[in-house]
Amino acid sequence: MKKAWVGVDIGGTKIAIAIVDEQGSILAEDKIATEVEKGPEPAAERMIRVIRSLIESQDCEIQAIGIGSPGPIDAGKGTILRPSNLHTWDDYPIVDRIQSAFGIHTVLGNDADLAGLAEYRFSLEGSHQNVAYVTVSTGVGGGIISNGRLHAGSSSCAGEFGHMIVQKNGPLCGCGKHGCLEAFSSGTGIANRMRDEVLGHPEHPLYALAKSGELTAKEVFEAYDKGEALAHSVIEQAEDYLAISLANVINLLNPTVLIMGGGVALGQPRFTKAVQRKIGDYAIVQNMETVTLALAKFQDKAGVVGAAALAMMDEQ
């Protein structure tokens, strides 16, 4: 019977679940709404039903279950701690809940770490042993592969690239600190910075959206592509801070590959190419000579595939 693993990717709006084989191919998948306001237990019950249904649909032997969650988490205890976009899930023992339902070994990891792990194991196929992965989406996160192993840190919180401080006393970030990279270069940060600029200009075409709180990064990038001055200023700042931060990552970790993923990085090629070009202005020349700048291959499937990859590697 074919071996397979379960990958679960928990997000603030949806939970993706998949059965994954040892080549990283998805054999079956489904998703459910997280419905954060109802708390973790109803979501866990629905998660268990979907996992069971997917397992029953496949003629395979499930080896282990991997779960990815926004941080902070305690991977050793299998507990989701206090993620800002899972605010009702504080200190929830997700591993115990899932493992007790199936009697199958279950592990927990940070979602951005696991997206990087998916790229390392299945896209790069282990050809690079030192890899840095950054996701630029609603937030900014990261993952580190060091000497072929996921580097999660002492409390599962390594790779928080989005919370490097890039501007002292800068705007408030969702983490509660001021001036984080995420507050400038994530989709949310870009929308917030544009809102702050536009609210001082009632004549601006995006003023109504900014005032209503409905302005998103999509509208900012559309204005940028049309050459609008305020949008250009906001996007250029986002590019600069992201390039500086990733140059710091390269100088600190000396990876052979830096992979960019996430909805903003993959959906806005003009932005991403500008960031990649600017990284070379800030990183040490010797480090730039040994690093390849690449884009993620798994896109929106990285979370579930990476969670399954964690389960695979935990067995080895």
Same domain? 171 vs 91: no
> What CA dihedral angle connects 201, 206, 207 and 210, to 10 degrees?
-120
Domain of residue 15, CATH code: 3.30.420.40
Beta strands in the chain (DSSP E): 2-10, 14-20, 26-33, 60-69, 73-74, 79-80, 106-110, 131-136, 140-146, 149-150, 257-261, 292-295
What one-character-per-residue DSSP string does 64-127 give? EEEEEEPSSEETTTTEE---GGGTT-TTB-HHHHHHHHH-S-EEEEEHHHHHHHHIIIIISTT-
Q: Cα angle at 194 between 134 and 227, to 5 degrees?
A: 90
**Domain range for residue 207?**
127-296
Same domain? 171 vs 226: yes
| pLDDT of amino acid 174 | 83
Q: Which two tokens stand for residue 68?
A: 């990815």
Bridge partners of 108, per DSSP, are: 67
Describe the crossing of helices 229-253 and 187-198 by its angle, rounded to 10 degrees. 140
Same domain? 160 vs 56: no
68 phi, psi to nearest 5 deg: -110, 135
Same domain? 208 vs 144: yes
Rounded CA gap, 142 and 160, in Å?
6
Q: In what order do the strands lie in the sheet with 106-110?
A: 26-33, 14-20, 2-10, 60-69, 106-110
Rounded CA gap, 34 and 27, in Å?
23
Same domain? 109 vs 136: no
Same domain? 113 vs 193: no
Same domain? 33 vs 103: yes
Same domain? 131 vs 251: yes
Same domain? 80 vs 164: no
Same domain? 114 vs 158: no
Residue 133: burial class (beta carbons within 10 Å; 0-12, 13-18, 19+): buried
Same domain? 111 vs 134: no
Q: What is the pTM of this model?
A: 0.87
Q: Closest Cα partner for 33 from 15, 10, 7?
A: 15
- Tell me how many domains the chain contains: 2
For the chain (length 316 residues), average pLDDT per consecutive 10? 92 91 92 92 95 93 93 90 86 95 94 89 81 91 90 84 95 91 95 94 91 94 95 97 97 95 93 96 95 89 92 74
Residue 33: burial class (beta carbons within 10 Å; 0-12, 13-18, 19+): exposed
From residue 90, alpha-carbon distances to 41, 43, 95 in Å are: 12, 14, 14
Same domain? 67 vs 134: no
Q: Closest Cα partner for 20 from 259, 263, 313?
A: 313
